[in-house]
Structure 1
Amino acid sequence: MKMRWTSVVWSVVYLLLLLSLLTPLSIVTVFFLILPATILFATLNVRSFLLHVLPVWLIAFIVHPVYLLLAMYFMVPSIVMGWSYKRKNSALRTLLIGSGTVLAEMLVLLLIGTLFLHFDLSGYVHDIVKMTMSPLKDVGGNNPLISDMVWTPEKMQIVSDMTMQMIPFAMIISSFMMGVITHSLARPIIESTGYHVPKLKPAREWMLPKSLIWYYLIGVVIEVFARGSHNSFLIMIAANLVPLLHICFMIQAIGFFYFLAYSKKWHPAIPLVIVIPILLFPPMRIIGILDLAFPLRQYMTKSKR
């Protein structure tokens, strides 16, 4: 009985999240949309899963047919992650295949829109930038003290081009965030129903591949050449590869401080406090680079004679 009513509750949550997609709340709720279906698929057999999901889809279709299309779109990563939980795959594998599925869907949707629906992503981005910057343009034009900050069409085009270059980065980060949020909430919820779900390694054990150092060096070289180049492909690689690697090094730095706190038996709150400056002060990612490049953990914990 508990399991059945819990499933009904998650079905209702799933419906409410779907209905929020055409509202301003979608900016937040979209990151939680694959959570309810993931939990339902992981804890129910296929028949029970369909009995919970199909009524939600029917109601969503009655409200507006576009909700059904959105539901089908977000159902794919939900099934992939739920299936991975059923297979007892490692948490990292589940997280990566879930995030990868979301990213693949984004790319496929963009490809279909471009080839068959004649969707112009560049023009769309330019319109959004123009709409966003118009109030600033009006303020600058009416205030002589900030006349140098007037948003001319040329400046808007530059911002538009920079935004276009960062779209791959935004797609990767957003898909990864959806995977992280879903796993962080789904794992303890599924565990509470009696199903065992592997969890991520403790932060102190996080260790990224050392090859990231070489990728970073390559990215820096590409970034140097891209500054004086008009090759849009080269510029896009530089604009996306290096920031992604910076995030990896920040994650590595966080893992290092958790390892240090565990080894030195610090209070558990200390590494949590250290995470804040790492996130707010990006140059601290150098700790992550050093941790990958050198045996920093062994050196910091080596007993002194």
Structure 2
Amino acid sequence: MRWTSVVWSIVCLLLLLSLIYPLSIVTVFFMILPATILFATLNFRAFVLHVIPVWLIAMIVHPVNLLLGIYFIIPAIVMGRAYKKKAPALRTLMAGAGTILAEMLLLLLIGTVFLHFDLSGYVHEIVKMTMSPLKDVGGNNPLVNDMAWTPEDMQKVSDATMQMIPFAMIISSFMMAVITHSLARPIIESIGFHVPKLKPAREWMLPKSLIWYYLIGVVVEIFAHNSSNSFWTMIAANLVPLLHICFMIQAIGFFYYLGYTRKWHPVVPLLFAIPILLFPPMRIIGILDLAFPLRQFMTKSKR
């Protein structure tokens, strides 16, 4: 019952209570952090003694907070258990992100089957509510009347948003796991527990099979462009952007490797990483780094 554990219990409670306010769009990404730290640094009995009061207080404020607490405690336990076992950092990240994604899918399945939740209709209402001011502006101003949003335009935006939901779910779950690991690892280390960290950026090397997946995705995207089959359109809309992000990560790793071998100042690879994030076509460097022995070529040319 150290004071640090009590502090993290309070942080967990405050984050849980914040979910009923608009600020939740930010705080939700930190939801599993306190419980992860508690599970990794306490035995199971002490962990339960810290979590139960948090749930009881949150439930008194609003009963739905108990369900949210249970929802976010599961990936926290998964990542905390991985930290206890000294699992590699990448495996911990994948386990945490996979658990969050599985919970999202399960929640969507339960809402659709048992609660008759219409995700398509909900997305359409959100798009309609968001775009209605633009429609009103276009309808009241003759100078921009041609730019007014029609119901067909809103339906196209709704359909495109629906197709990108799997991509958004994967990215959001991975971001939650990355944020949790980035903050939890140094905190747990400062308490006195060793936690494996990710490999240095210069050692990042993704599987070469991503090149073949990318080629398949491009072919699917070409055939799905004018196709009425929504299944293939959804695959193309999600697979290709995910692979683009992978290639951007690979490109960043390449510049860090180049900076390490050429003895550059540590800021230089970071300066290369920024335009990669801001100018996506630079991912071609990551593709070349995977498809060809680009790093070995640069090392030989140095010699």
TM category (shorter chain) comes to over 0.9
Following TM superposition, the consecutive aligned residue runs of length 4 or more in structure 1 with deviations greater than 3 angstroms are none
Which of 162, 165, 168 matches 1:167? 165
How far off its partner does 1:149 sit? 1.3
Give per-residue Cα distances to partners, 1:170-202, cap 9 Å, x unaligned.
000000000000000000000111111000000
How far off its partner does 1:274 sit? 1.2
Indicate the residue corresponding to 1:112 in structure 2: 110
Indicate the residue corresponding to 2:185 in structure 1: 187
How far off its partner does 1:163 sit? 0.2
Deviates more, 1:271-280 or 1:251-260: 271-280
Instruction: For residue 57 of structure 2, give the secondary structure of its aligned residue in structure 1.
Output: helix
Aligned amino acid, residue 286 of structure 2: G
Alignment of 1:83-122 (within 5 A): 83-122=81-120
Alignment of 1:122-201 (within 5 A): 122-201=120-199
Instruction: For residue 201 of structure 1, give the secondary structure of its aligned residue in structure 2.
Output: coil
The normalised TM-score by structure 2 is 0.99
Indicate the residue corresponding to 2:269 in structure 1: 271
Indicate the residue corresponding to 2:56 in structure 1: 58
How far off its partner does 1:221 sit? 0.1
Give per-residue Cα distances to partners, 1:183-227, cap 9 Å, x unaligned.
000000001111110000000000000000000000000000001
Separation in 2 of the partners of 1:277 and 1:158?
31
Instruction: For residue 134 of structure 2, give the secondary structure of its aligned residue in structure 1.
Output: helix
How far off its partner does 1:145 sit? 1.9
Give per-residue Cα distances to partners, 1:40-61, cap 9 Å, x unaligned.
0000001110111100000001
Matched, 1:249 2:247: yes
Separation in 1 of the partners of 2:301 and 2:291?
21
Separation in 2 of the partners of 1:34 and 1:216?
33
Query: In the comparison of the two structures, how many residue pairs are matched?
Result: 303
Give per-residue Cα distances to partners, 1:229-249, cap 9 Å, x unaligned.
000000000000000000000
Aligned amino acid, residue 97 of structure 2: S
Give per-residue Cα distances to partners, 1:128-157, cap 9 Å, x unaligned.
000000111111111222222111111000
Separation in 2 of the partners of 1:289 and 1:175?
25
Separation in 2 of the partners of 1:64 and 1:186?
28
Matched, 1:215 2:216: no
Indicate the residue corresponding to 2:47 in structure 1: 49
Structure 1: segments with no counterpart, 5+ residues? none
Instruction: For residue 16 of structure 1, give the secondary structure of its aligned residue in structure 2.
Output: helix
Matched, 1:68 2:54: no
Say what the alpha-carbon RMSD is for the aligned residues: 0.8
Indicate the residue corresponding to 1:286 in structure 2: 284
Separation in 2 of the partners of 1:152 and 1:57?
47
Separation in 2 of the partners of 1:45 and 1:179?
22
Aligned-pair identity in percent equals 82
Separation in 2 of the partners of 1:107 and 1:204?
34
How far off its partner does 1:299 sit? 0.5
How far off its partner does 1:303 sit? 4.7
The normalised TM-score by structure 1 is 0.98
Aligned amino acid, residue 241 of structure 1: L
Separation in 1 of the partners of 2:239 and 2:193?
38
Indicate the residue corresponding to 1:36 in structure 2: 34
Structure 2: segments with no counterpart, 5+ residues? none
Matched, 1:238 2:229: no
Indicate the residue corresponding to 2:3 in structure 1: 5
Give per-residue Cα distances to partners, 1:83-110, cap 9 Å, x unaligned.
0100110000000000000000000000
Matched, 1:82 2:80: yes
